[in-house]
Structure 1
Amino acid sequence: MITGALRTALHRTGALPVLAVVVLALTWGRSLPAVVVALVSCLLAGAVLSAVHHAEVIAHRVGEPFGSLVLAVAVTVIEVALIVTLMVDGGDKSAALARDTVFAAVMITCNGIVGLSLLVASLKRRVAVFNAEGTGAALATVATVAGLSLVLPSFTTSKPGPQFSTPQLVFAALSALILYGLFVTTQTVRHRDYFLPVTSSGEVIDTEEHAEPPTRRTALLSLGLLALALVAVVGLAKAVSPTIELGVLTAGLPSSVVGIVIALLVLLPETIAAVRAARRDRVQTSLNLGLGSAMASIGLTIPAVALATVWLPGPLLLGLGASHLVLLALTVIVGTLTVVPGRATPLQGSVHLTLLAAYIVLAVSP
């Protein structure tokens, strides 16, 4: 039986994903007036909060690090589907869409989610404590796959421009997929203890302390509602993107700003969940969400778009420009220095957030 508190919570949040998906179906592909855009934006915010709630219910049921993996993979799978759809519809104009989206996700997760989580946790408890072994393995995997997928195309010579030849693209896609599979296996099976939360007193948390885990029925219901909420988040973000594009164009900003705004909206559920975990002294959970989302974004998107090139007529541009290469290098270096001690102060969190701010400033004013 579902407890009264859980039943109340599901009744309160269960209607939001359903309503958001219904509105998404009614508004998809249409030009929306300002009043409808405002309504869609409110439903988007509600869908984000609902996704976070149901992700936390599932995480409580399955425990860490499986809970973090559920949210990261669910968001990324839907995001990949959206990217491929846009690439099919966009023609040559979408040649750099996968690169821009993946890089935005890497910067937002590795600097935004990680930096904000470390800042929140360290401000509350003076020092944020996490498992350096698990976090270091995650960061090393992200850095390797990002380097193979986003850096090398800028230097290869088989094809003109920042793109891979077919054998190179196949290698990058298979490498990303294999490394992601190994990462998930390491995180959930062979070295699961490396990814469990560590409190500031050094205690490893394998189970939640205060509340009984939800029933299997409740967790399955939340899983279904989480999927609906995430579909609504990505779809409604796409629905309001023409308004965002118009605002960006009116303000005279580069078109790449639109991708950043959409990525911020799509990654909002993970961000909120990570900050909540950091406030509860579960910094490792926050880092699992941040780095896991970065790894899922690269490890699933690159193989998907590589497969999509079979029927996509235009080129696939993956190589980063000079300024983005510098930002990625700084992110990896700073991330390594942050991870090695297994402890962080507000300074480390602020440094990561500064790198994210630099990325946004350079996107607005390249």
Structure 2
Amino acid sequence: MSAHGPMPKSSWIFPALAVALFVVATALGLTFTPTVGGFLFAALLLAILFGTVFAAVHHAEMIAERIGEPYGTLLLTLAVTIIEVALIATIMLGDKPVPTLARDTVFAVVMIVCNGLVGICIFIGGLRYREQDFQVSGANLYLSVLFVMATITLIMPNYTLTAPGPIYSAAQLGFVSVVTLILYCVFLYTQTIRHRDYFINDATGDAGDGALLSNRMLALSIALLLLALLAVVLLAKKFSVVVDLTIARVGAPPAFAGVLVALLILLPESVAAISAARKNDLQKSINLALGSSLATIGLTIPAVAVAAYTLDKQLVLGLNTQEMVLLVLTFVLSMLTFGTGRTNILFGLVHMVVFAVFLFMVFVP
């Protein structure tokens, strides 16, 4: 979404509706139950929650465009991370312990982004423009950091000796959290300051040269961003009840909760990435897609680790063998796709097939 033009009504209506829904539901004791009224409540909750997430990301993007880099990118990343951590922590603290939720969500984000979203963007771009170009140097930086982060957080816990896998000991979890946070911060510095030209398409240039927000609009966006984030955090508990009962109702595996959380937090940036691919700006699509996966691991894992340690909750991070095969396949395929600087529809289709395999294996492991 652009920072230009009048502010859309949805950017303030949904946060206000979210707060109002929380107040009414808390006062009346409303919750999700497997009845007609319960399903209507769940549908209303999900619609308002999705709209509020879109509103939060919209205001973060508006403020980011005004304050410039690197603070703009950091603000947008922090906004999405707050939403993700709130949802994960709330579900983990529910009536039923879900020690694997953080792992399932992070893995789902990587698979959705690197296979589903990347595949759709490349396929759509290939259909409209035959081939699309992007900066190989920037893509390589994304992939190098992503591969290291994903390996030490999702694969390494299965092969440690201090604590039996797939769990890190407290010292190991603390060390990995600090390392991933440092690695992400250095990447952010590289992307926004040191080698910013690696992440800008020469054909489109830097898109931040339009009219900026006025001081009044900036203050309003900051207030609405805070309101939207507060609303998501407040509704996270209600959302967790819907997720738990839905999974139990349809007999879905626990990993499906991670997929739902990942889809919720990735939806706004996914829409923006697909729109950029349709406009022949695949570089922006890659920045949005791969940047989301890096932020998920680099910021969410340390935050959830702190929450788990503080609340004395077990945090299971190691993937099973089948999931590790899919992750390694994604690594190899991504290196081939982003190794030439040009894409076509076949690359996109292959990524979408891997994503389809991932979704199928969630339900039929």
Written as runs of structure 1 = structure 2, the 5 A alignment for 1:90-105 is 93-105=97-109
Q: CA deviation at 1:35?
A: 2.2
Q: TM-score, normalised by structure 1?
A: 0.86
Of 5, 9, 15, the residue aligned with 1:17 is 15
Written as runs of structure 1 = structure 2, the 5 A alignment for 1:118-129 is 118-129=122-133
Q: TM-score, normalised by structure 2?
A: 0.86
Q: Indicate if the aligned counterparts of 1:249 and 1:255 stay in contact, CA closer than 8 A.
A: no
Aligned twin of 2:277? 278
Q: CA deviation at 1:276?
A: 1.8
Aligned twin of 1:150? 154
Q: Are 2:43 and 1:38 aligned?
A: yes
Q: Is the deviation greater in 331-340 or in 241-250?
A: 241-250
Aligned twin of 2:118? 114
Name the CA shift for 1:66/1:86 in 2 (closer, same or farther; >3 Å).
same
Q: Render the CA deviation track for 1:188-211: whole Å, top value 9, x for unaligned.
A: 111111112x2xxx52411357x5
Instruction: State the alpha-carbon separation in 2 of the partners of residues 288 and 206 from structure 1.
Output: 13
Q: CA deviation at 1:152?
A: 0.6
Aligned twin of 1:242? 241
Instruction: State the alpha-carbon separation in 1 of the partners of residues 60 and 277 from structure 2.
Output: 16
Q: Are 2:88 and 1:83 aligned?
A: yes
Aligned twin of 1:312? 311
Q: Indicate if the aligned counterparts of 2:90 and 2:237 stay in contact, CA closer than 8 A.
A: no
Percent of aligned positions that are identical: 43
- Structure 2, unpaired ranges of 5+: 33-37
Aligned twin of 1:269? 268
SS at match of 2:310: coil
Name the CA shift for 1:23/1:330 in 2 (closer, same or farther; >3 Å).
same
Instruction: State the alpha-carbon separation in 2 of the partners of residues 130 and 90 from structure 1.
Output: 47
SS at match of 1:94: coil
AA aligned to 1:31 is T
Q: CA deviation at 1:140?
A: 1.0
Name the CA shift for 1:144/1:68 in 2 (closer, same or farther; >3 Å).
same
Name the CA shift for 1:243/1:311 in 2 (closer, same or farther; >3 Å).
closer
Q: Indicate if the aligned counterparts of 1:127 and 1:344 stay in contact, CA closer than 8 A.
A: yes
Instruction: State the alpha-carbon separation in 2 of the partners of residues 77 and 240 from structure 1.
Output: 15
Q: Are 2:222 and 1:206 aligned?
A: no
Aligned twin of 2:214? 215
Q: Render the CA deviation track for 1:4-43: whole Å, top value 9, x for unaligned.
A: x833x34453222222232234336842322222222332
What is the RMSD computed on CA atoms of the aligned residues? Answer: 2.7
Aligned twin of 2:35? none
Q: CA deviation at 1:232?
A: 4.3
SS at match of 1:57: helix
SS at match of 2:317: coil
Q: Render the CA deviation track for 1:56-112: whole Å, top value 9, x for unaligned.
A: 534554568876654333111221233234334457x22212111111111122222
AA aligned to 1:239 is K
Instruction: State the alpha-carbon separation in 2 of the partners of residues 361 and 183 from structure 1.
Output: 33
Of 63, 77, 80, the residue aligned with 1:72 is 77
SS at match of 1:310: helix
Q: Indicate if the aligned counterparts of 2:90 and 2:240 stay in contact, CA closer than 8 A.
A: no
Instruction: State the alpha-carbon separation in 1 of the partners of residues 237 and 130 from structure 2.
Output: 40
Q: Render the CA deviation track for 1:261-305: whole Å, top value 9, x for unaligned.
A: 222122111111211222222222221111111111111122223
Aligned length: 355
Q: Indicate if the aligned counterparts of 1:273 and 1:286 stay in contact, CA closer than 8 A.
A: yes
